[in-house]
Amino acid sequence: MLSASIETATAVPWADLPAELCNLVVDRLDAFSALRFPAVCRSWAAACQVGPRRLRPGAPTLLTPILMDGNGMAAAAAFALYDVSTGRSFHASVSGRGGLKNRRWVGAKDDWLVTTDATCSLELLNPATGDLVRLPSFATIPGGRRDCRGWHPNLRRAEVRLYIGGGDGGVWRRVDGIGGDHALFVGQSYPFYVTVPRGSSDLKANSVYAADLNGYVAMVFDQCQGCAGGIGPFVYSDFRGTSLRPIWFRPTAAHLEPLPVHQT
């Protein structure tokens, strides 16, 4: 009477899994899978209402490595996301092809990380989905520095040249500008503004959060007028001191627009 399909098509009401068991399962999920859990059905969403155990979409986080090899590359696909406004730490790993293994990150934009390896092979990596876009090597930038460790702007030069790269095996091409209403931030980590919700007890308005100051301590500067009044370091426990520095990371679903290509 029981056919083989009974085994695959489960008959028990998984949607009715008691809330306490749902939470035991969510506790064991990585940060990204935990976010998807409530989207499955209403009763699972209701179970997750008890206690905010998940990463909040759009929340500013510090991305830190968990395991490193001797050369400062990520030794595993795993990383930690530290939600600075709640002080909670989440772990996740790159799905699929292990896109962080033996690579280091040199920048982040929205839901993408820029990673490089010892041979300067550049990739864009979406840590949540495992999506990977190969970029031309830094070495192909005309007159560029062959430094795989990332971007080191030389601000004494009067001219800034912008290059974009894309497509498998493509090259870097110079562009004329970055578009009418855009501004570009450069530096060791990717800075961004967030709008602090009125009455928020988590994030402090009119403050600067700075990562990677003096020995891998992150700071929050309150009432930032000249940023004199640092109100002290906040502790994020996942980071094991290495040369791969923590980076600001805020996954959103921003849209990337093509830039005008420089005509020579």
Helix or strand run (H / E) with residue 16: none
Sign of CA dihedral 141, 146, 150, 152: negative
Long-range Cβ contacts of 67-70 (<8 Å, 24+ apart): 67/240, 68/240, 68/242, 68/243, 68/244, 69/102
Do residues 73 and 117 touch, judged by C-beta distance below 8 A? yes
Which is nearest to 215 in space by CA: 189, 240, 185, 180?
Answer: 240
C-alpha–C-alpha distance, residues 65 and 73, integer Å: 9
Among 3, 4, 5, 9, binds other proteins (CB under 8 A): 9
C-alpha–C-alpha distance, residues 216 and 227, integer Å: 19
Q: Report, in angstroms and rounded to the nearest whole number, the Rg of the chain calculated over CA atoms.
A: 21
Among 46, 50, 69, 96, binds other proteins (CB under 8 A): 96
Q: Which is nearer to other proteins, 1 or 12 (CB)?
A: 12
Among 1, 4, 11, 256, binds other proteins (CB under 8 A): 11
Q: Which is nearer to other proteins, 138 or 239 (CB)?
A: 239
Among 85, 88, 141, 166, binds other proteins (CB under 8 A): 88
Q: Residue count at the site for other proteins (CB under 8 A)?
A: 51
Q: Which is nearer to other proteins, 28 or 156 (CB)?
A: 28
Q: Is position 69 an interface residue for other proteins (rule: CB under 8 A)?
A: no
Q: Is position 125 an interface residue for other proteins (rule: CB under 8 A)?
A: no
Q: Is position 21 an interface residue for other proteins (rule: CB under 8 A)?
A: yes
Q: Is position 37 an interface residue for other proteins (rule: CB under 8 A)?
A: yes
Q: Left, alpha or beta for 201 (phi > 0: left; psi -120 to 50: alpha)?
A: alpha
| Spatial CB neighbours of 63, under 8 Å, sequence gap ≥ 6 | 79, 80, 81, 105, 108, 113, 127, 246, 247, 248, 249
Q: Is position 190 an interface residue for other proteins (rule: CB under 8 A)?
A: no
Among 50, 69, 91, 231, binds other proteins (CB under 8 A): 91
Do residues 77 and 68 touch, judged by C-beta distance below 8 A? no
Q: Minimum distance between the CB of residue 239 and other proteins, rounded to whole angstroms?
A: 12
Q: Minimum distance between the CB of residue 62 and other proteins, rounded to whole angstroms?
A: 13
Residues 226-245 that bind other proteins (CB under 8 A): 237-238
C-alpha–C-alpha distance, residues 38 and 47, integer Å: 8
Among 75, 110, 139, 212, binds other proteins (CB under 8 A): 110
Q: Is position 102 an interface residue for other proteins (rule: CB under 8 A)?
A: no
Q: Is position 108 an interface residue for other proteins (rule: CB under 8 A)?
A: no
- Region near other proteins per CB under 8 A, out of 28-36, 113-121, 188-196, 200-208: 28-36
- Kindly list the residues in this chain that would bind other proteins in the complex (CB under 8 A): 7, 9-12, 14-15, 17-18, 20-21, 24-33, 35-37, 39-42, 53, 57, 66-67, 78, 80, 88-91, 95-96, 110-111, 126, 128-130, 237-238, 251-253
